[in-house]
Chains A and B, each alone.
Chain A
Amino acid sequence: QQPVQSPQAVILREGEDAVINCSSSKALYSVHWYRQKHGEAPVFLMILLKGGEQKGHEKISASFNEKKQQSSLYLTASQLSYSGTYFCGTPPRGAGSYQLTFGKGTKLSVIP
């Protein structure tokens, strides 16, 4: 079942903060975050695992609330380069799953 992302779109001025949420009706084992710039491929941001472990390449802050079955991505002091569509993905069958189900995305636009 597809995770639900909110908001669908957000417009920020440079330097402002934003929070993107990803929630699931099923228990979450992990949440994956990707960013896709217009006309490009999705690029990995981070994975948050049950138990608190995080794995990522960028200095992006995120949280994973197992009880609420929700993850949030925190974009602080936004830069123009943060613009793009953010997707969260979750393994539908938990640990050992070979599939990811992605949300519909949150479009973030950062303006000068």
Chain B
Amino acid sequence: NAGVTQTPKFQVLKTGQSMTLQCAQDMNHEYMSWYRQDPGMGLRLIHYSVGAGITDQGEVPNGYNVSRSTTEDFPLRLLSAAPSQTSVYFCASSYLQSISYNEQFFGPGTRLTVL
């Protein structure tokens, strides 16, 4: 099993550009999520999904869109990149039963810089 994979590993964008960060998992997890990590801020939840076709907002959703058309994939879209979105982005997945009770498996991360 590859676990949780993310592409690309690194990306540089100009302000106003759009892009999609890819995330895939092969563990048949119902729950998937996106976090951003900024220095000294910990991990902050952007969006999450409890299954195909079902998504919801986390703590910091502004400027990001998600969709979940399959169990395996959960892409994160930046509509119009801003320097404030410079961060490391982590995708994670888990069994749905209850996120309160289950461990999350994190992908290797995407380091995004917006100039």
Chain A residues near B (Cβ < 8 Å): 2, 29-30, 32, 40-44, 47, 49, 55, 57, 87, 89, 91, 94-105
Contact = CB atoms under 8 A, between A and B. Distances in A.
A38 to B, nearest CB: 12
Interface string B27-53: 000010000000011111100101000
Contacts of B41: 104
Nearest to B44: A102
Given A47-B101, A101-B59, 6 more contacts: A44-B104, A47-B103, A98-B56, A100-B99, A104-B41, A105-B42
B108 A98 contact: no
Given A41-B90, A98-B31, A102-B43, A29 B108 contact: no
Interface residues of B, number: 25
Contacts, number: 62
Determine the main DSSP class of A at the interface with B. Answer: loop
Nearest to B104: A44
Determine the main DSSP class of B at the interface with A. Answer: loop
Interface of B: 31, 40-45, 48, 50, 56, 58-59, 90, 98-109
Contacts of B42: 2, 87, 102-105
Contacts of A102: 42-44
